[in-house]
Copies of this chain bind each other. A is one copy, B any other.
Amino acid sequence: MLDVLTAKTGRAKTGRVAATIKDVARAAGVSVATVTRALSTPELVRLDTRERVRATAAALGYHPNRAARGLITGRTGNLGLLVPDLSNPFFPGIVKGVQGRAHEADHAVFLADTDEDPAAEAGLVRKLAKQVDGVVLCSPRMPEAELRALAGEIPIALVYRRVPGTPSVTAAFLDGMRQAVSHLVALGHRRIAYVGGPRTSWANRERVRSLRAVSKTSGVELVEMGSVIPQFEGGVAAADQVIVAGVTAVIAYNDLVALGLLHRCAARGVRVPADLSVLGFDDIPLGAMVHPALTTVALPQGAAGRAAVDLLLNERQDRKERLELPTQLIVRGSTGPAEGS
């Protein structure tokens, strides 16, 4: 077999040339057409031929070149995935979901991290466009108009963002918020702070909207503390204002911010949950590792990623598919009875 390979390319170096379909055809004594069929449409090839071809293919370590195949079929077998920041433990969960589902469907995935830079998003997607069958955009920060333009150029599935006419996977924020507030109300809290995330974040807008609605119907007083970066440091920075806001509980944009609040409270000697209850969003693994462990509204991560891939791959006629996955409050140590209740 080595002879075949080296003869073919003229390289005498090593056996390091990948076998092509021609090599297999020659070695198996059939035409290239038969090789393709034996591999992709076995029922069109007589059993013994098929077996022979497959055996030689295996022996030569042959794997069809996906790029070449894509050239003619128009399908690449690749997916793109865009995330704002891989450092936020929320996203690896989604990435793993996308990867898992993509691999099951025999697709490889390109990953791009935008470093929370909305301006970089569209460019990255366009660069990948030619090499993928579609791209999953995770919490994209770009303006809706730009998103629409992109959706016209390449199949897109949104995760944690909703845009009319574009397939998307989100979670039941309103219901999650209801669970969160009910929990706090049951513990006797009546005045609650909210530390917000990026204004360009759709998820933040949704949370604020839900929270306002729920507060009204639950009769709790809501104190909005403004926006911070969706990271630990954001929470640390917001903590001191929360402490003097006269609230007994605080809901953070996400777990990372909540962890920042927890950290600063500990440093300031504010006891959690005795003096202040803290509640996050996301349910990142980290939340269960700290002390006190973080009460949070769990958002689907792996499941969201998998669903997004399905949206992209399943040739649903209806391209405006909209999925809303359930959310679940996870009660842990960072929330407790309100002072004096």
Enumerate chain A interface residues (CB-CB to B < 8 A).
14-16, 18, 63, 65-68, 70-71, 76, 78, 81, 86-87, 89, 92-93, 95-96, 99, 103, 108-113, 115, 126-131, 152-153, 232, 259-260, 263, 266, 285-286, 289-291
Contact = CB atoms under 8 A, between A and B. Distances in A.
Given A65-B130, A87-B285, 13 more contacts: A15-B152, A71-B71, A81-B111, A87-B89, A92-B92, A95-B113, A103-B112, A109-B110, A110-B111, A111-B111, A263-B289, A263-B291, A289-B290
A129 B92 CA distance: 24
Nearest to A87: B92
A112 B153 CA distance: 26
Nearest to A153: B16
16 contacts: A15-B152, A66-B130, A67-B130, A78-B110, A86-B95, A86-B96, A87-B93, A96-B115, A99-B113, A108-B127, A108-B131, A259-B289, A260-B289, A263-B289, A266-B291, A290-B290
Q: How many copies does the complex hold?
A: 2
Contacts of A99: 111-113
Nearest to A64: B130
Contacts of A285: 87, 232
Nearest to A260: B289
A129 B108 CA distance: 11
A153 B111 CA distance: 24
Contacts of A108: 110, 112, 127-128, 131
A186 B260 CA distance: 32
B289 A129 contact: no
A93 B89 CA distance: 11
A63 to B, nearest CB: 6
A208 B103 CA distance: 35
A250 to B, nearest CB: 17
Contacts of A70: 67
A110 B110 CA distance: 4
B289 A232 contact: yes
A260 B289 CA distance: 7
A269 B96 CA distance: 36
A87 B63 CA distance: 30
Contacts of A266: 291
A109 B115 CA distance: 15
Contact of A14 (B81, B96, B152): B152
A152 B16 contact: yes
